[in-house]
Chains A and B, each alone.
Chain A
Amino acid sequence: MKAVKFAVIVGASALVLAACGSKPTTSSSSSTSGAAGGSATTSSSKAFTACMVLDTGGVDDRSFNQSSYAGLTTAATANPAIKPSYVSSNSQNDYAPNLTAEVNKGCSTIIAVGGLMGDAVKAAAAANPNQHFAEVDASSSGANVYGMEYNTAQGGFLGGYLAAGMTKTGKVGTWGGLNIPPVTIYMDGFYEGVQYYNRTKGKNVQVLGWNESNQKGGTFSQSFTDQNKGKTISAAQVQQGADIVFPVAGGAGLGAGAVAQSSGGKVMVIWVDTDGCESAAQYCPYFLTSVTKGITDSVDKYVTAAASGAFPTGNYIGTLQNGGTGLAPFHTFDSKVPATLKSELDQVKADIISGKITITSPSQPK
C-alpha cells in the first residue's frame, strides 16, 4: 500500500516536470505505441521487420553497434515499410537466447552485430533454414546468412600515407583500444602506408605505438571508453615527437582530440570508423581526416535490398573499391593538404584497388 502510494507520488512528481503540454489533436497514442516498440507488424502485410541483435556495449557505443543500427534506421527512413528494432546483449551468454527470441518474433531478417556472435548465428541459421540472417564483421556461415566484413587495412593504408606526407616532425603515432584484429587491422594498414611512403619517397617517417611485424606489441588503452587514458597515451606520443595521432579506440580516442586542442594547432588527429567531423564534431578543427568503415552503408544496402524481396547472399567485403572503407573528407584541412599529396593518394588508392600494392596485414578478411 505504502509502496504503491510512494511510487505514485514519485512517478507523478516526475511527470509534472514535463507534463505542461497539451494533447496533440490528431495523434492517437495507441497506434504509435506499436511502431515505437517495433513489434506490432501483424496489421500490415507489407511491413518488413528488420531485427538487430547487438553485441555488448549498447546501441550508443559510438562504434559498431551504433553504426550498424544507424544503417537500419537509414534504410527505414527511406522505406517506411521497414520496421527496425534491436535487442542488446550484456554478454556472450545473451547471443543465442536473443537470436532465438528474434526468430520466435517472426522477423523478416535478423542482423547480428559482431564477429564473436558467429557461432550462435551459425547454429540459429542451421536450426531455422527459412529465416534470413545477416552478420556484421563476420563471413557467411550458411546459405541463409549474409556476411559483411571490411578490409579497413586499405583505408588505414591511405591514412598512413597521408600522415607520412603531412608530418613535420617525421614521427606519427597510433594506438588502439585492445589488441584484437578488428582494431589492429587499422594499425597494420596505417603502418604499411607509412612504410610505403618511406620506400617510394626515400624518407624515414617513424611510426610510434605499432609495428606490424610485432603483433603482440604496440600501445593500447585497454578501453574503448576511457578518454583520460586516451589523453595520456596521445600526450606521451606527442612528447616523443609525433605530430599526427591515429587512435583506433572508439570513444577513448577523443582523448587525442583533447591533446590536439591543447597543442595549439601543432598536433593533428586522424579519426577512425566514422567521419569524425560528424560523430565528434567538437574536435573537427583538429581532424586531418578519418579512416572510415562502411558499416552503416552496407547494412543500409542489405536491408533495402532485402525489403525489396531480393535477399543478398554470400559475403560482402568492404574495400576501397566499393566504398566499404576509405578516407573521409579533409574538412578544415582541405586547403592545407598539398594538391600533389592528394593526387598521390588517388594513385595509391588506384594501385591498392588494382592489386599493384599488396597489403600484408594478417588481420584482413579472406
Chain B
Amino acid sequence: MTEVAAPTSALPEPGGPDPAAPVRRRRALGDNTIVVTLLAFVAAMVVGAILIAFSDPATRSASAYFFSAPMDTLRAAASAIGRGYAALFEGAVFNPTTAARGTVAGIFGPISETLVSATPLILGGLSVGLAFRAGLFNIGGQGQIVAGATCAGYVGFAWHLPVVIHLVVAIVAGMVGGGLWGALAGWLKARTGAHEVITTIMLNYVAVNMLGFLLSVKGFQRPPYGQAISNVVDANARLPHLLGSSLRVNAGLFLALLAAYAIHWLLTRSVLGFEFRAVGANQNAARTAGMSVERSYTRVMLIAGVLSGLAGVTQILGTNSAITGDIDAGIGFDAITVALLGRANAGGTVLAGLLFGALRAGGVQMQSSTGTPIDVVSVVQALIVLFIAAPALVRFLFRLHGSGAGAGQGLAKGWNG
C-alpha cells in the first residue's frame, strides 16, 4: 500500500536535485502491474461508492434540495458509502456482531463464505487463464462447468458407492465431463480451424439446453417432478466441510489450490507447458520448432475443460447438493475477469479469485443489511478488469507515466489465431 501512496507525495517536487527523477519513478510505477492493479481496484471502489450513494434513498431525497442544504446530501452519501463498504467488509472478512456470539459460525462465517465463493472462481479462472497462455480464448467455461457438474452430480446421486470411493469417482466423472466438453472445442479448432470463441459459445448453449432437458427426465429430475431440479447428491459423494457443518467452506478449496499448483508447475516446469506457451507466443515459430500446434490446441482445451469441470464439481459436490438450470451461476463468465485480473498465471488467479469471492460474499451482506443492490458488486468487478485492460486510463487518473500495453492485449491473441 505504500506504493499506492507514492504518486501523491511525488507530485510537487520543484526544487529537487534531479528534476527527471520523479518522472522516472512515476514511469516505473506506471509499468508495475501490481501498482496498476491496486490503483484499478481503488478507482473501481470510488465509482462503486458513487453508485452506492445514488442507490441510497436518503441521499437521493436529500439531493432534491442539494442547493439549499448541500451538506445534507454529502452527509447522507458519506453515511451510505460508509455503511455499504463496512457491510461489504463484514460479509467478506469479519463481522463483529455475529462474532460476539462466540460461535464458530459467527467468527469464521464471513471468511468461510469468501472461500466458498472463491473456490469455483479460482478453478474457472485457471481454466480461462491456461487457454490464454496458449493463445486461445475459452468462453466455454459455462458449458464446461455445466458438463462437469452434470456428470459429477449424476454419479453423485445415481450411483451408491462406499465412502471416499464415491467422492473420488464423482470428482473424476466431473473432470472427464468438463474435459471432454473443452477438448471438443480444441479438437474442432485443430481439425477444422473453427474458431474457439464461436465453438465454445455454441457448446455453452448445447450444454445448458441439454441440462434443461435432463432436468425434465425421470431418473434425473427429483420426484415428485414439480420443479426443474435434480435428485440430491449422496452424502458419501459430498466434499467434506472443513470447519464443521455450520460453515460451508469445504474441501473444494483444496482442489482449487492443488489445481493452481499443478498449473503453475505445468506452465513453468513441464515440456507440455512450454509447448503451450510457445504456441501462444508465436504459433508459426512453434511449428517451425517442430511442435504440433494442432495437438497443443486439443490438449490445452482438454486441460482447461478439466479445470472448469472441477469448478462444476465444487459447485455440485460442495456448495449445492442438487443440480438446477443455473448450476454454473455465471462463474464461466466471471472466470474470464478473474483470469484477466490474475494475468493468466496461477498465483495471480488464486489472489484474483479470492478478491472476487470476497466481493461476492460481502455483496450478500451489503444487500441484506443496507439494501444496496448486489449489482454494485458486479459493477465494481467489471470496472476493476476494465481499468486493468486499459492501464493508460489508470495512469491518466493517477498521473503516472508508463510505456507498457494493457494486460488484455497480451492475453487475447486467440482473436487472431
Contacts and interface: CB of A to CB of B under 8 A. Distances in A.
A7 B398 contact: no
B397 A2 contact: yes
Contact of A29 (B72, B95, B113, B328): B72
Contacts of A88: 367, 373-374
B58 interface: yes
Given A2-B399, A93-B320, A101-B368, A19 B228 contact: no
B246 interface: yes
Q: Which of B63, B315, B364, B396 has the most CB of A within 10 A?
A: B364
Interface string A1-43: 1111011001100111011111110010110110011110000
Interface in B40-54: 42-43, 46-47, 49-50, 53-54
Contact of A19 (B66, B324, B361): B66
A2 B396 CA distance: 8
Contacts of B47: 7
B322 A87 contact: no
A104 B97 contact: yes
Given A56-B326, A92-B327, A11 B227 contact: no
Contacts, number: 162
Contacts of A366: 224
Contacts of B368: 51, 87, 98, 101-102, 104-105
Nearest to B329: A91
Nearest to B62: A29
A216 interface: yes
B229 interface: yes
Interface residues of B, number: 72
A98 B365 CA distance: 8
Contacts of B370: 37, 39
A101 B326 contact: no
Contacts of B68: 21-23
A47 interface: no
B367 A87 contact: yes
B402 to A, nearest CB: 15
B329 A33 contact: no
B65 A24 contact: yes
A112 to B, nearest CB: 13
B58 A23 contact: no
A37 B364 contact: no
Contacts of B265: none
A97 interface: yes
B82 interface: no
Given A88-B374, A104-B98, A181-B225, A97 B327 contact: no
A90 interface: yes
Given A90-B330, A96-B248, A98-B364, A118 B227 contact: yes
B79 interface: yes
Contact of B109 (A16, A100, A105): A100
B395 to A, nearest CB: 10
A180 interface: yes
A97 B227 contact: no
Contacts of B155: none
Nearest to A185: B226
A131 interface: no
B46 A3 contact: yes
Interface of A is mostly: helix
A39 B369 contact: yes
Interface string B15-36: 0000000000000000000000
Interface residues of A, number: 61
Contacts of A127: 246
B201 to A, nearest CB: 16
A4 B319 CA distance: 39
A3 B216 CA distance: 52
B58 A101 contact: no
A97 B50 contact: no
A307 to B, nearest CB: 20
Nearest to B45: A3
Contacts of A22: 65, 68
A19 B66 CA distance: 5
B131 to A, nearest CB: 23
Interface string A322-366: 000000000000000000000000000000000000000011011
A211 interface: no
Contacts of A11: 50, 53
B72 A23 contact: yes
A18 B371 CA distance: 23
B394 to A, nearest CB: 9
A23 B364 contact: no
Interface in B357-390: 361, 364-365, 367-371, 373-374, 378
A97 B359 CA distance: 13
A116 interface: yes
A116 B227 contact: yes
6 contacts: A11-B50, A14-B54, A21-B65, A32-B61, A98-B367, A119-B322
Interface of B: 8, 11, 42-43, 46-47, 49-50, 53-54, 56-58, 61-69, 72-73, 75-76, 79-80, 91, 95, 97-98, 109, 113, 117, 212, 216, 224-229, 232, 246, 248, 315, 319-322, 324, 326-330, 361, 364-365, 367-371, 373-374, 378, 396-399
Q: When A and B form their complex, which 4 residue pairs have the shortest distance between CB atoms, in order from nearest?
A: A19-B66, A33-B58, A91-B329, A101-B368
